[in-house]
Amino acid sequence: MAAATVVHVDLTPCASREAAAWGWLDQDERARWKRFLYAPPRRRYALCRAALRALLCGALDADNEQIAFTFAEHGKPRAQVAGRPAAISFNVSHSGNHGLVAWAPRGRVGVDVEERSARYDIDGLSETVCGPRERADLAAARGDGRLHLFYTLWTLKEALVKATGAGLSCDVSRFEIPAAMRRGKPTGTFRFPQAPDVNWRLHNLGNAAYAAAVAHEEVADSAAAPVTTP
């Protein structure tokens, strides 16, 4: 199975890189860039979108001007080259000073990053985000381990629902991250209860600065043709 590639994007403020990134954006993207009220989300959007464009140019052997984006029902972007759907899956996430772009030649992909500076109300959120066994693991965790586990669950779940494109329209408390990954294993295989025929490969990509995860649909190399919609 062809692996997913994940690239880190440095989102720390830097006027010259932001100006260069802006130069990669098309008219619609510049209009969106202008609508951001605050500099940090504007910067994160421009730097990640420019990095995505550069990666797609390389992966699809295309010029930046040929690349455009359409959006699926819940907003997941997909790429077109010269007006035709591109045979590639990708996904983007940004938080604080960190962005991640994931792409794969086949199989849907989703990625999520959360800078560790955010302090969540774990008790309140775990009710809506976690299933019963995940809540039990959180209740048993102590000190920093509790926040660490919550971030792990959150990013793995978001990576999965971003891979399907459902985003937060999906009730993420209705599925649980594999027990071995809840206990610290960095990789695992997952199936949604309502779609047990599809295997998802999960990777916990967290480090000291951020929690992060990528979910990639397993598709046999000899199986279906390359994806045309992520």
Ligand X SMILES: CC(C)(COP(=O)(O)OP(=O)(O)OC[C@H]1O[C@@H](n2cnc3c(N)ncnc32)[C@H](O)[C@@H]1OP(=O)(O)O)[C@@H](O)C(=O)NCCC(=O)NCCS
Report the nearest approach of ligand X to the CB of residue 227 (Å): 14
Note whether 90 and 6 are within 8 A (CB): no
Residues 130-149, one symbol each (x = binds ligand X by CB under 6 A, - = not), give --------------------
**Single residue of 9, 92, 149, 156 touching ligand X by CB under 6 A:** 92
Report the nearest approach of ligand X to the CB of residue 125 (Å): 13
| Residue 77 binds ligand X, judged by CB under 6 A | yes
Report the nearest approach of ligand X to the CB of residue 158 (Å): 6
Return the CA Rg of the chain.
Answer: 18
Q: Number of residues in contact with ligand X, rule: CB under 6 A?
A: 19
**Single residue of 43, 94, 98, 216 touching ligand X by CB under 6 A:** 94
Point out which residues bind ligand X (CB under 6 A).
Answer: 45, 48-49, 74-77, 91-94, 110, 112, 158, 162, 165, 167-169
